[in-house]
């Protein structure tokens, strides 16, 4: 019954509704024509043949004539009568037998069939589907992940419990299975046992249920996001291979970029012995010098592979000025990073950070600062009932009184982390106006607001979506590509065979793809060559560690047709 109602409902929506109006108009015209012919029939029968018929007989005769049935029980016997009969039959053929069915098919049947074909959500993937990533829960994080996967040509399928969402996503060109994530039948339909990985991005209880169901059916690895870090163990017990406390990671990440105390290098990730780390220039003694004068390589062995300033990443040259506002990205071994910390370590700058927003992310940022004994003030509109560790100033951060009373003028750093991007943009702009020197780290809830936050004066912007997506991509790719920051990736590729024996200069990797070589991994287990000079010869079996934006990464893959391992 429901199904019939749903089908009927189609005819009362959008274009179908307009077409119904057209059809009603046409039927009224036909009815008018029949009435007119019935009246003419009576008049002609009386005038030509002297016979009298009722109006109902007239209607009956007209319809049998127009529909070409012509029983022959009532007929004219004069020429004008035959002519009239012929006209009625002919107009019946045109208006009733040609135009009416044509209109019905083109205005109703064809669009309806098309709609049925188009809007039928997939319940089952073909049986031989394999090697796909299954995504449960489609939000800004998994949307960004789907872009990463598309760039890397990794097939993925989204499982959606909502018919409308499934249809919408299918229209956008995604492969979708419509089904309940925790239902074994849906999972079988999504060919879970052949999938390469499962990404669970639902609520913690739903993720737990999904992990239990999937784990009982197959050995496909499961990566799940966790809202409440305490639930990580439960999710692992339920069968998750990775449980990622995204909000906590984001909080720590924001906080690590906001503090200028000490010169602790923040390690982003590592490729074997090679570590990639970032450090604020301001917290080092090199602030204000040129790269060649700073002699970082000579004193520590570390290579500066990039500089970030207000959303712009540059590959430095010898005469690049190390601006105190920038963040240095370094490559080297753990020992070399420690050597840097020795040079810079002791001087602890006076630091005080303001955190606007004491939700899960703000709370995690506060926890990070607390551990490093960096003083901070939290501000939130409401008390965080889940947090027993921190006392926040209760007030709307967009009020200038609240901001001023919290000491924005003298604070060294600011973490803007409310759940509303317009508020974050407003707060960034207002704070930059009050304190031009403050280090502002802002959270973008939607990727499209990253640029506005930079324009409003943020020093660093971290988007939930891209951090989440990059963490998940790393897991899927076994950490080939690491998350550096918005729009820049460090990634590993094996040396394309066509480049064996060429020098770095002759390989034309940078001019052709825009990517730079951060390091060369050597086959014989020797330490990696960090930022090798251009004359270095690329040898068989070497691994390339490259840096570039996602576009450049794609160009590299296309140009050198690399194999991933
Ligand atoms: P979460 O998304 O869990 O990190 O939470 C964001 C936090 O930002 C919530 O605790 C909100 O109460 C807080 N928030 C949102 N708007 C404002 C505002 N104008 N002033 C202060 N706090 C805010
Ligand atoms: Zn807290």
**Which atom of ligand 1 is found nearest the CA of 251?**
4
136 close to 116: Cβ distance less than 8 angstroms: no
Band (481; pLDDT cuts 50, 70, 90): very low
Distance from residue 249's CA to the centre of ligand 1 (Å): 18
* Long-range contacts, 213-216 (Cβ 8 Å, 24+): 213/182, 213/183, 213/184, 213/187, 214/187, 214/239, 215/239, 216/184
The closest of 499, 506, 500, 496 to 557, measured between CA atoms, is: 496
Distance from residue 326's CA to the centre of ligand 2 (Å): 29
Instruction: Give the pLDDT score at 316.
Output: 84
Kindly provide the residue ranges of all beta strands, DSSP E only, lying in 342-450, ordered along the sequence: 353-356, 376-380, 393-394, 413-416, 439-444
Instruction: Give the pLDDT score at 193.
Output: 93
- Average pLDDT over every residue of 399-423: 93
Q: Give CA–CA dist 255/417, Å, rounded.
A: 11
Q: Where are the alpha helices (DSSP H) in 218-324?
A: 232-238, 246-258, 291-294, 296-300
β 242-244/529-530 pair status = unpaired
Set out the domains of the chain in order of their start, with CATH numbers: 1-118 (1.10.287.70), 133-244 (3.40.50.720), 262-344 (3.30.70.1450), 353-466 (3.40.50.720), 487-560 (3.30.70.1450)
Q: Give CA–CA dist 534/503, Å, rounded.
A: 7
pLDDT, one tens digit per residue, over 285-344 is 888 899 889 888 888 888 888 888 877 778 888 888 998 888 888 888 888 888 887 776
Q: Give CA–CA dist 255/373, Å, rounded.
A: 12
β 393-394/376-380 pair status = parallel
Which of 393, 419, 467 has the most ligand 1 atoms within 8 A of CB, as the residue to mutate?
A: 419
Ligand closest to CA 425: 1
Q: Give CA–CA dist 531/300, Å, rounded.
A: 14
Instruction: Give the pLDDT score at 261.
Output: 62
Return the minimum-mean-pLDDT range out of 102-111, 245-254, 265-274, 348-357.
Answer: 265-274
353 close to 369: Cβ distance less than 8 angstroms: yes
pLDDT surpassing 60 at residue 348: no
Which residue has its alpha carbon closest to ligand 1 atom 8?
Answer: 418
Distance from residue 389's CA to the centre of ligand 2 (Å): 6
Q: What is the residue whose two structure tokens read 């490259």?
A: 546
- 354 exposed, middle or buried (CB, 10 Å; 0-12, 13-18, 19+)? buried
Which residue has its alpha carbon closest to ligand 1 atom 5?
Answer: 359
- 233 contact partners, CB below 8 Å, separation of at least 6: none
Q: Give CA–CA dist 350/259, Å, rounded.
A: 10
Ligand closest to CA 366: 2
Ligand closest to CA 363: 2
Which residue has its alpha carbon closest to ligand 1 atom 10?
Answer: 359
56 close to 36: Cβ distance less than 8 angstroms: no
Band (258; pLDDT cuts 50, 70, 90): confident
Number of Cβ within a 10 Å radius of residue 217: 13
Which of 249, 356, 380, 468 has the most ligand 1 atoms within 8 A of CB, as the residue to mutate?
A: 380
Which residues face 200 on adjacent strands?
136, 224
pLDDT, one tens digit per residue, over 54-87 is 999 999 999 999 988 888 888 998 999 999 999 9
Which residue has its alpha carbon closest to ligand 1 atom 9?
Answer: 359
Distance from residue 470's CA to the centre of ligand 2 (Å): 26
Which of 395, 418, 464, 467 has the most ligand 1 atoms within 8 A of CB, as the residue to mutate?
A: 418
Instruction: Give the pLDDT score at 340.
Output: 81
Which residue has its alpha carbon closest to ligand 1 atom 21?
Answer: 380
pLDDT, one tens digit per residue, over 184-223 is 999 999 999 999 999 999 999 999 999 999 999 999 999 9
- 369 exposed, middle or buried (CB, 10 Å; 0-12, 13-18, 19+)? buried
Band (563; pLDDT cuts 50, 70, 90): very low
Instruction: Give the pLDDT score at 280.
Output: 80
Q: Give CA–CA dist 543/554, Å, rounded.
A: 18
Q: Give CA–CA dist 259/21, Å, rounded.
A: 67
The closest of 390, 438, 387 to 411, measured between CA atoms, is: 438
pLDDT surpassing 50 at residue 429: yes
337 close to 302: Cβ distance less than 8 angstroms: yes
* Percentage of residues of the chain with pLDDT beyond 90: 44
530 close to 331: Cβ distance less than 8 angstroms: yes
Distance from residue 255's CA to the centre of ligand 2 (Å): 13
259 close to 353: Cβ distance less than 8 angstroms: yes
**Which atom of ligand 1 is found nearest the CA of 443?**
4
Q: Give CA–CA dist 130/154, Å, rounded.
A: 11
Tell me if residue 448 falls in helix, strand or coil. helix
Distance from residue 254's CA to the centre of ligand 2 (Å): 15
- Average pLDDT over every residue of 545-563: 80
Which residue has its alpha carbon closest to ligand 1 atom 2?
Answer: 419
Determine the Cα angle at 255 with ends 362 and 329, to 5°.
145
Instruction: Give the pLDDT score at 562.
Output: 52
Determine the Cα angle at 224 with ends 219 and 228, to 5°.
140
Q: Give CA–CA dist 137/333, Å, rounded.
A: 39
Enter the DSSP assignment of 548. E
Tell me if residue 221 falls in helix, strand or coil. coil
Q: Which residue has the higher pLDDT, 565 or 167?
A: 167
Q: Give CA–CA dist 507/464, Å, rounded.
A: 37
- 351 contact partners, CB below 8 Å, separation of at least 6: 259, 260, 261, 374, 375, 412, 413
* Percentage of residues of the chain with pLDDT beyond 70: 91
Q: Give CA–CA dist 44/36, Å, rounded.
A: 12
Tell me if residue 176 falls in helix, strand or coil. strand
The closest of 469, 510, 513 to 487, measured between CA atoms, is: 469
Phi, psi of 89 (to 5 degrees): -65, -45
Instruction: Give the pLDDT score at 84.
Output: 93
Mean confidence (pLDDT) of the chain: 86
Ligand closest to CA 358: 1
217 close to 184: Cβ distance less than 8 angstroms: yes
State the DSSP H helix or E strand holding residue 138, giving kind and residue range, or none if neither. Answer: none
Ligand closest to CA 389: 2
End-to-end distance of the chain based on CA atoms, in angstroms? 55
- 272 contact partners, CB below 8 Å, separation of at least 6: 521, 528
Q: Give CA–CA dist 338/544, Å, rounded.
A: 25
Distance from residue 248's CA to the centre of ligand 1 (Å): 15
- Report the pocket of ligand 1 as residue ranges, CB < 6 Å: 356-362, 379-382, 396-398, 417-420, 423
Band (552; pLDDT cuts 50, 70, 90): confident
| Residue 252 CB-half CA count within 13 A | 12
Distance from residue 501's CA to the centre of ligand 1 (Å): 56
Which residue has its alpha carbon closest to ligand 1 atom 1?
Answer: 359
Band (484; pLDDT cuts 50, 70, 90): low
């Amino acid at each position: 019954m429901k199904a019939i109602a749903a089908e009927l409902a189609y005819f009362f929506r959008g274009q179908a509704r307009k077409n119904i109006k057209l059809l009603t108009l046409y039927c009224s015209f036909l009815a008018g024509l029949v009435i007119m012919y019935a009246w003419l029939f009576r008049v002609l029968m009386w005038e030509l043949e002297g016979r009298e018929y009722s109006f109902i007989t007239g209607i009956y005769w007209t319809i049998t004539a127009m529909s070409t049935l012509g029983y022959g029980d009532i007929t004219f016997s004069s020429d004008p009568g035959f002519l009239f009969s012929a006209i009625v039959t002919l107009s019946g053929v045109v208006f009733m037998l040609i135009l009416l069915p044509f209109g019905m098919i083109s205005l109703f049947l064809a669009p309806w069939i098309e709609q049925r074909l188009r809007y039928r959500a997939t319940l089952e993937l073909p049986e031989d589907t394999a090697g796909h990533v299954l995504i449960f829960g489609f939000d800004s994080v998994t949307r960004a992940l789907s872009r990463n996967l598309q760039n890397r040509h990794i097939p993925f399928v989204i499982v959606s419990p909502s018919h409308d969402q499934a249809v919408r996503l299918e229209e956008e060109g995604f492969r979708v299975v419509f089904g309940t994530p925790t239902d074994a039948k849906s999972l079988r339909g999504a060919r879970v046992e052949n999938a390469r990985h499962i990404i669970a991005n639902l609520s913690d209880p739903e993720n737990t249920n999904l992990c239990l169901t999937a784990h009982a059916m197959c050995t496909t690895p499961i990566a799940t996001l966790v809202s409440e870090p305490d639930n990580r163990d439960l999710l692992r017990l339920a069968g998750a291979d990775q449980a990622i406390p995204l909000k906590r990671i984001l909080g720590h990440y924001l906080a690590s970029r906001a503090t200028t105390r000490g010169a602790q290098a923040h390690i982003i990730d590592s490729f074997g012995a090679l570590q990639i780390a970032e450090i604020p220039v301001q917290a080092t003694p090199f602030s204000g010098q040129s790269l060649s004068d700073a002699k970082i390589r000579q004193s520590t062995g570390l290579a500066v592979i990039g500089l970030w300033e207000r959303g712009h990443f540059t590959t430095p040259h010898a005469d690049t000025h190390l601006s105190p506002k920038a963040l240095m990205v370094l490559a080297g071994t753990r020992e070399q990073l420690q050597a840097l910390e020795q040079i810079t370590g002791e001087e602890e700058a006076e630091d005080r950070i303001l955190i606007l927003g004491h939700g899960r992310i703000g709370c995690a940022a506060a926890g990070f600062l607390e551990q490093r004994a960096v003083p901070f003030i939290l501000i939130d509109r409401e008390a965080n009932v889940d947090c027993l560790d921190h006392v926040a100033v209760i007030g709307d951060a967009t009020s200038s009184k609240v901001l001023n009373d919290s000491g924005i003028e003298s604070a060294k750093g600011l973490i803007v982390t409310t759940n509303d991007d317009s508020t974050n943009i407003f707060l960034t702009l207002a704070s930059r106006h009050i304190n031009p020197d403050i280090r502002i780290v802002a959270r973008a809830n939607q990727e499209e607001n990253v640029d506005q936050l930079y324009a409003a004066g943020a020093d660093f912007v971290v988007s939930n979506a891209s951090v989440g997506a990059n963490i998940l991509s790393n897991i899927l790719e076994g950490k080939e590509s690491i998350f550096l920051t918005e729009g820049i990736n460090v990634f590993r590729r094996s040396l394309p065979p066509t480049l064996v024996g060429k020098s770095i200069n002759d390989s034309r990797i940078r001019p052709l793809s825009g990517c730079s070589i951060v390091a060369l991994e050597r086959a014989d287990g020797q330490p990696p060559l960090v930022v090798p000079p251009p004359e270095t010869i690329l040898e068989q079996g070497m691994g390339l560690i490259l840096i570039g934006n996602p576009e450049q990464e794609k160009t590299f893959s296309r140009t050198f047709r690399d194999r991933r391992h």
